A = this chain, B = another copy of it.
Amino acid sequence: MEHTMEACALDPALDVIVGKWKCSILFHLFHGTKRFSELQKGIPDITKKMLTSQLRELEEHDIIQRVVYPVVPPKVEYSLTEYGRTLEPVLSSIHQWGRSHAEHMRVRRSSLILEDTRQSL
């Protein structure tokens, strides 16, 4: 870390994955190519506008590919780029820490409540 991490060289990477729905989208695309409507179904609370904008941002960063089939009705498929797959170990690392963190905070809250209880007795 000493030598590798400058003042905030994290930001460029975080830009790529931060966004209210980006990791949900990535989660689905890691499981294979999906149509716009499939993503909508998989992420029920997202609006078309947000789905579109988040997909565009991921596309700009070369994480995903957008393929338009010139048919009617329109058909658009999204998939990870080969480069996008290099994100997997990073996301996996974040994800695993997040899981243990949730547990850590759960345990911590319990013990803090216990302390409070003891003090109020």
Interface residues of A (CB under 8 A from B): 1-2, 4-14, 16-18, 23-24, 27, 30-31, 43, 61-62, 83, 86-102, 104-105, 108
Contacts and interface: CB of A to CB of B under 8 A. Distances in A.
Tallying the copies of this chain within the complex gives 2
Nearest to A102: B12
A1 B87 CA distance: 11
A27 to B, nearest CB: 6
A104 B83 contact: yes
17 contacts: A1-B88, A4-B96, A5-B27, A5-B92, A6-B27, A7-B43, A8-B27, A10-B23, A10-B91, A10-B95, A10-B98, A13-B98, A14-B17, A14-B18, A83-B104, A90-B94, A93-B94
A97 B86 contact: yes
Given A17-B14, A108-B62, A9 B97 contact: no
Contacts of A90: 93-94, 97
A68 to B, nearest CB: 19
